[in-house]
A and B are shown apart, each in its own frame.
With several copies, the nearest count.
Chain A
Amino acid sequence: MKVLVANRGEIAVRVIRACREMGIPSVAVFSDCDRDARHVRDADQAIHIGPSEAAASYLRIGALLDAARQSGADAVHPGYGFLAENAAFAGACRDAGLTFIGPSPETIATMGSKTAARAAAIRAGVAVVPGLAAPLCEDAGGAAIAAAARGVGYPLLVKAVAGGGGKGMRMVDDESALAGAIRTARSEAGSAFGDSAVYFERRLEHPRHIEIQLLGDIHGTVIPFVERECSIQRRHQKVVEESPSLAVSPALRQRMASAAADVARAVGYTGAGTIEFLLDGSGEFFFLEMNTRLQVEHPVTEMVTGVDLVQWQIRIARGERLVLDADRMLAPLGHAIECRIYAEDPDRGFMPSPGLIRGLRPAAGPGIRDDGGVSAGYTVPTFYDSLMAKLIAWAPSRQQAIDRMSRALREYHVLGIRTTIPFFLWLMRQPEYVAGRYDTTYLDRVLAERAASGANTPGFSELSDRDEEIVAVAAALDAYLRATGTQAENGGPMRSRWADAARREALRG
């Protein structure tokens, strides 16, 4: 086997590591601006596939198939994002005789349509969020639309059938806003997914986003895993995930896992996939959608089960049988939390902060896993999402995992660009987070409150007066050393003590 990794960034590095551990050669692909990216340097081979714009490189099926042909790869790992849930790509791989490391194109197509996926869940006997069973007709009249909306009930969401990541989605509180919401949702969906179809879904009040990872082999075995809690979201984008969830009892876990496995079996699912549920305050859960690929947040599951999901994706694609102990996969060991370190400035509304990484020292040590995709000297480009690394902390208990994450965030150095590290340090101290009292509305609400209080809101960094003084002292010394000093002067006192040793070193040869 030789695997073409049809992706970039941390997930490409993750897949390359798995390949290397399995003795499988890996082939990276890269766009113009990614020549120096870490995945290119880490892979056994690397093929240039086009200009920096994703549409001209990482999204171009023909270029990827050419790269596979050129490199002699016989399998393709799509990662997440880009073409990972594109049925046409999976089909094109199959047609080209390549093993697509994921489910069949047919399954991708089914689960990629939110309405078709909901129908599949219903057939499997799993409750879905109340809503329309089929897309709204393009030419439905206002009265018919209003009736459909009343049937679902307000507040509701207008959602793109092909949607994802909050795009093509609008909240509607009453009928007056309905027509406008449908119009903008259709327009966004059309430009984002090339499909303007939308449908209605009831908006649950304070739901948690709980998802079940699963693996299915080609011999019919489906194994669900302990849940991931992904309710810390900003504008429908997950930023912190953990496993297990404080909101899920062992009994509820069994029920959610069974429901997820039922849906997967109903569509003959193979490979790694995730069923997303919304969990309401009463403990009822509703099928939301299925992601037919590896998730960004897969490491938290790996940390509490010990399973390497990426290696299993590859093994399943090779036709191996799942030989995992299904009971153990539902019995998490300890607790894991993931923070997504983005190149964004949390103090400027999470504005992207691309640019040159002048220094990088990821956190390490006990219980810490760093899944990074960048390196010092690399310029975070403006063309793709801004995820630089995922920092995962494991500990025997949730509180210890929070404490460990805080320790790791403090020792994580990224120089030259802004990142979300200060935000996570802040979050790890919030009473709601520490107590686990949060749902999917928590973060947007808190951020809105902070924004509303305007210029008086301190930044997430919350430097004490003493810390500010220390920074001022450092800045003054830095300026002094640069203004007066040679490098030797800059080196400080110890350098001189070391000069002898260095000189002696030079003689060793």
Chain B
Amino acid sequence: MTFEIEINGRMRRASVERSGPGRFLVTLDGVVHDVDASRTGEHALSLLLDGVSREVQLAPNGLPGELIAGLEGRTAGVSVNARRTRRGPAETDSGAGEQRIVAPMPGRVVRILAAPGDLVAARQSVIVVEAMKMENELRAARAGRVTHVAVTPGMSVESGRVLVVIE
């Protein structure tokens, strides 16, 4: 069985074959790893491979195929077969075309830092949303011109709400 695994922006091809009870041959980018694997929790796997022992946590991130991996205190976003399951055009993406700045969580709009027609640079802050007692500056992923500001200061916004559109 073959999977496309994306971690930190790098895509890898992995195929898995069961070789015995709890034993698997995992071929990753052409290299075969002989793995002793055991599920140690709903979202955890213990692996013995290549002379090391590691426990990896893999918890759903809310979208199909998207996981947060945990390994000894560090984390990484992981997508499995994302090309097959990927949703429509990504928001706040770094590709070409329209960028939509969306509220990442429920909160209140504190300040709007750009007006329709403004040119903004990559990583420039365009709006500030307060949530969990923190002010969070949302930034443009890349340079562009603001075409639409959909909210006003003081407004409460739901998660996922489009706040600013940049072309």
A residues with CB within 8 A of B: 28, 35-36, 40-46, 71, 343-344, 348-352, 354-355, 358-359, 375-378, 382-386, 409-418, 421-422, 425, 451, 454-455, 459-463, 467-481, 483-484, 490-496, 501, 504-509
Given contacts A467-B74, A473-B28, A476-B16, contact A36 B8 (CB under 8 A): no
Chain A contacts for B1, CB-based, 8 A: 479-480, 483-484
Find the B residue at minimum CB distance from A505: B62
Pairs A-B, 5 closest by C-beta atoms = A493-B22, A492-B38, A476-B14, A474-B56, A504-B159
A385, B72: Cα distance in complex, Å: 26
Given contacts A461-B75, A462-B74, A509-B63, contact A478 B159 (CB under 8 A): no
Segment of B112-120, B130-138, B144-152 in the binding face: B130-138
Q: How far is the CB of A444 from chain B (nearest CB, A)?
A: 13
Q: Does B39 contact A35, Cβ atoms closer than 8 Å?
A: no
Q: How far is the CB of B47 from chain A (nearest CB, A)?
A: 6
Q: How far is the CB of A406 from chain B (nearest CB, A)?
A: 8
Instruction: Choose one: A45, A355, A459, A481; the contact of B39 (CB below 8 Å).
Output: A481
A471, B28: Cα distance in complex, Å: 11
Q: Does B71 contact A463, Cβ atoms closer than 8 Å?
A: yes
Find the B residue at minimum CB distance from A358: B59
Chain A contacts for B38, CB-based, 8 A: 35-36, 491-495
Q: Does B58 contact A474, Cβ atoms closer than 8 Å?
A: yes
Q: Does A351 contact B76, Cβ atoms closer than 8 Å?
A: no
- Can you list 13 A-B pairs with a CB-CB distance of less than 8 A? A45-B52, A358-B60, A413-B70, A415-B68, A421-B73, A454-B122, A454-B123, A461-B74, A477-B45, A483-B1, A492-B21, A504-B159, A508-B104
Size range of the chain B interface in the assembly: 35 or more
Q: Most chain-A Cβ atoms within 10 A of its Cβ — which of B33, B44, B139?
A: B44
Q: Does B68 contact A416, Cβ atoms closer than 8 Å?
A: yes
Q: Does A46 contact B41, Cβ atoms closer than 8 Å?
A: no
Instruction: Choose one: A378, A412, A418, A504; the contact of B68 (CB below 8 Å).
Output: A418
Given contacts A474-B69, A475-B69, A504-B160, contact A480 B42 (CB under 8 A): no
Q: Does A473 contact B14, Cβ atoms closer than 8 Å?
A: yes
Chain A contacts for B45, CB-based, 8 A: 474, 477-478
Q: Does A352 contact B134, Cβ atoms closer than 8 Å?
A: yes
Instruction: Choose one: A382, A415, A492; the contact of B59 (CB below 8 Å).
Output: A415
User: Quick one: CB contact mask for B89-129 with A, threshold 8 Å, 1 for yes?
Assistant: 00100100000000011110000000000000011000000
Chain B contacts for A508, CB-based, 8 A: 62, 104-105, 159-160
Chain B contacts for A352, CB-based, 8 A: 105, 131-132, 134, 136
A370, B87: Cα distance in complex, Å: 39
Chain B contacts for A451, CB-based, 8 A: 123
A506, B14: Cα distance in complex, Å: 27
Chain A contacts for B78, CB-based, 8 A: 471-472, 475
A410, B58: Cα distance in complex, Å: 16
Given contacts A382-B106, A474-B47, contact A359 B14 (CB under 8 A): no
Q: Does A463 contact B74, Cβ atoms closer than 8 Å?
A: yes
Q: Does A354 contact B105, Cβ atoms closer than 8 Å?
A: yes
A385, B133: Cα distance in complex, Å: 5
**With an 8 A cutoff between CB atoms, is B80 at the interface?**
yes
Given contacts A474-B54, A477-B45, 6 further A-B contacts (CB under 8 A): A41-B53, A385-B132, A385-B133, A507-B159, A508-B160, A509-B91
Q: Does B8 contact A359, Cβ atoms closer than 8 Å?
A: no
Q: Does B54 contact A475, Cβ atoms closer than 8 Å?
A: no
Chain A contacts for B71, CB-based, 8 A: 463, 467, 470-471
Chain B contacts for A350, CB-based, 8 A: 134
Chain B contacts for A472, CB-based, 8 A: 5, 7, 12, 14, 28, 78
A40, B5: Cα distance in complex, Å: 26
A451, B123: Cα distance in complex, Å: 8
Chain B contacts for A349, CB-based, 8 A: 136-137, 139
Q: Does B44 contact A463, Cβ atoms closer than 8 Å?
A: no
